[in-house]
Structure 1
Amino acid sequence: MRILPYLIRAMVGAIAFTCGDMYAAFNERGVMVGFQGGFRRGSCSFRRNEEQRDRLTDFNARLSEKAKEYFPKAMGVDFPKTIDEFTGIENCELNTYWCNFNFVAAEYQQQGISTAMTELAYQKAKPHGWIMALATTHVRNVAIYCRLGFELMGYRNMASPFVDWPAWIYMRKP
């Protein structure tokens, strides 16, 4: 958890500066209370683009040796393979409108913020006939994504030498 901010910075940087879409929600004082980001279909992801992988340097430098062995295979091979398997879409992260983030601060949840951001992304994907897809690793999000119009495609407990982590895979068709 202590190095998670470095991973998030790398991913947000990839979305913001390279090939993605970002949506943000702010409260009345101008403080960001929600954020959603994703890659448009056919754009890019970390496992396919050298520039994207370079953004992970700061994160990778903070990994233990054991994690340096685990992370590339888990996130670059095993997890994408799981996504592809459940959605039935080869290279799903590349061939869908892949949503990487959907965060809303706890005190602003259940106020329609996530719905509004997801609809903005969906309205961008829908005219092109792009399927939206995403994964979540937290059980509280399972019902939320179903309410947002996504279909649960599958669940897998991803093995790790540290702590196993759950992955729910979703799709929303145009």
Structure 2
Amino acid sequence: MSLVLMRTDLAVISICGGNRDLIGPMGCGMILATTLGGEIYAATVESGEIVGFAVWMPPGQDLLSIPEQWKLGWDDFWSKLSEEGKDWFTNMYSKEVTEFMNGIFGPTGKWDSWYLNLLMVHPKYQCQGIATKIVDMVHKKASPQGSMMAVSTSHPRNVPIYEALGFELWGNKIIPSPWGDWPCYVFMQDTRKVL
């Protein structure tokens, strides 16, 4: 499912150094890293097929922030990434996106929030409330502490989707990449508000 939804995403292509064959290892590395400190939510149909999922990091956790997370699959992805891809990810992507998000959230805002790293629903099952149910589950966990929920996306088609899920657009910026510049939209949701 993730390959279908990511193959044309310029942010994903850029993170993979322009090599679409690395999208699967990149996605697996992110999902496996989430098993250390994060939470994964899956939606299934009667047959047991996963038709949607979300990867969240709760307050106090950040995806790929510790070596143990990298060892679960990101190291494998990284070893296959071109030198140009590694250089761009380390020197451009990490710097640009971190500075942009810190300008919106403050230096600890992402760390202090429930951060949604991936949310995907198979195209065949979209518009059936799957994403809403997943976001609502995390909202219920986050609201007793008054935690914020945050997400970013690189595709304009996702902006109205996240707004419909109760997120507010807080900013956007174009991220330069040798494989095509792409927009980064950043959203927040105040869990003290009732959905």
How far does the alpha carbon of each residue in 1:33-67 deviate from its partner, in whole angstroms, 9 at most, with x for none? 00011100012332x32323344211111111111
- Verify: 1:117 aligned to 2:141, yes or no: no
Give the aligned partner of residue 27 of structure 2: 8
The answer on whether the counterparts of 1:98 and 1:132 sit within 8 Å (CA) in structure 2 is yes
Shift in Å at residue 21 of structure 1? Answer: 1.1
| CA distance in 2: counterparts of 1:124 and 1:74, whole angstroms | 34
C-alpha root-mean-square deviation of aligned residues, in Å? Answer: 1.4
Give the aligned partner of residue 114 of structure 2: 97
Give the aligned partner of residue 92 of structure 2: 74
The answer on whether the counterparts of 1:41 and 1:94 sit within 8 Å (CA) in structure 2 is yes
| CA distance in 1: counterparts of 2:110 and 2:81, whole angstroms | 24
Give the aligned partner of residue 146 of structure 2: 129
The answer on whether the counterparts of 2:30 and 2:63 sit within 8 Å (CA) in structure 1 is no
Give the aligned partner of residue 50 of structure 1: 67
- TM-score w.r.t. the length of structure 2 is 0.82
**Runs of 4+ with deviation above 3 angstroms:** none
| CA distance in 1: counterparts of 2:40 and 2:157, whole angstroms | 23
- What is the identity, as a one-letter code, of the residue corresponding to 2:82? S
How far does the alpha carbon of each residue in 1:76-121 deviate from its partner, in whole angstroms, 9 at most, with x for none? 322122112123x213331211111110000100000000001001
| CA distance in 1: counterparts of 2:63 and 2:126, whole angstroms | 28
Unaligned runs of 5+ in 2: 1-19
How far does the alpha carbon of each residue in 1:107-155 deviate from its partner, in whole angstroms, 9 at most, with x for none? 1000000000010011111111110001011111100100111000011
SS at match of 1:123: helix
Give the aligned partner of residue 181 of structure 2: 164
The answer on whether the counterparts of 1:80 and 1:92 sit within 8 Å (CA) in structure 2 is no
- What is the identity, as a one-letter code, of the residue corresponding to 2:78? N
- Counting aligned pairs with the same residue, the percent is 32
SS at match of 2:81: coil
| CA distance in 2: counterparts of 1:85 and 1:97, whole angstroms | 18
- TM-score w.r.t. the length of structure 1 is 0.92
Residues 76-85 or 150-159, more deviating: 76-85
The answer on whether the counterparts of 2:159 and 2:185 sit within 8 Å (CA) in structure 1 is yes
SS at match of 1:157: strand
The answer on whether the counterparts of 1:80 and 1:91 sit within 8 Å (CA) in structure 2 is no
